[in-house]
Amino acid sequence: MNIHYSASNFKLFQLNRTTKTVTLTSTSQIPSINEIRKLPREKILRLVFEESVHNQKETVGQQLKKALPDFVVGIHLVKPEIKIARLITDKEIEDHQDFFEMCAQDYRALSEYLIFKLANRCKIEIDEKTPMESFYKLQSDERQTGSLGHWRYFLHGIHCGFAHTITGQAIEVCLVYGYEFGSLDPYFFTRFIKSTPHYKPLPVPLYEDHGDGFRIIEKMLSLGRFERVDPGNGFEPGVAAIRRTCADNNVKIKTTKTAQRKFSLLRFLRLK
């Protein structure tokens, strides 16, 4: 995962990690690729370029990006430094594939519940082929943002974001894949997992929201637990869990203005 970073996204490299700093007066002092590969996920390698080698930062950064595809390599936009951190490994994803599949199924279930609840509130009939068009007119009036019980929502672009005011749980519902509201974006999927109270403590740490999420999605695709979703409307294919839960399979989503996706909070919280 390759990024240029500034103070605004410096937090990508935080989250209970320790940092090892190497100050460079020569590029020969950069640890070897084999040494960097031994870096544990809970540690960050920070390379600080002294004035004599300031002009080497970008070149070195690009070389490291190519050599370390399973790491996040951050080249600071202003400061003479590069930060390197390991992303979630294939083995960690394989060992916890049941968990990530469950998270994807929960993402779909909660997305459907919330978006149909919002449609009911706003008296909107969701178009089965283009849900985004159904909600588009709300983005130009006071209904673009509001509350649904303890949930705050915000319609923006092709998504509707929801955040729980008590638990802090956050989820983004994509509106371009027909009635498949479980499409997973790497960043949003990781945020959902990390903000969902009943997943804690997580069985495997997630440090980099986009980088870890991207690797999880790609690996779960290769494992046959996720599948591509073709919207058929010009947008890029999405990704969602292949299998629905038993409860999902038994639910028929109606298209009337009063339709609401049935949802069991007890089932979602794994209490039923």
Return the structure tokens found at 84: 């390197």
Q: What is the pLDDT of residues 63-117, one digit of tens each?
A: 999 999 999 999 999 999 999 999 999 999 999 999 999 999 999 999 999 999 9
Choice among 59-68, 191-200, 213-222, 241-250 with the minimum mean pLDDT:
241-250
Q: For 80, list phi and psi in degrees, rounded to 5.
A: -80, 65
The mean pLDDT value of the chain amounts to 87
Q: Yes or no: say if 6 and 69 are a contact pair by the CB < 8 Å rule.
A: no
Q: Could you tell me the residue ranges of all domains in the chain?
A: 2-86, 91-268
What is the number of other CB atoms lying within 10 angstroms of the CB of residue 52?
Answer: 10
Strand ranges in the chain using DSSP code E only, listed in sequence order: 2-5, 18-24, 43-49, 71-76, 81-86, 145-148, 151-156, 159-164, 170-174, 226-229, 238-241
Crossing angle of helices 97-122 and 186-195, in 10° steps, is 90
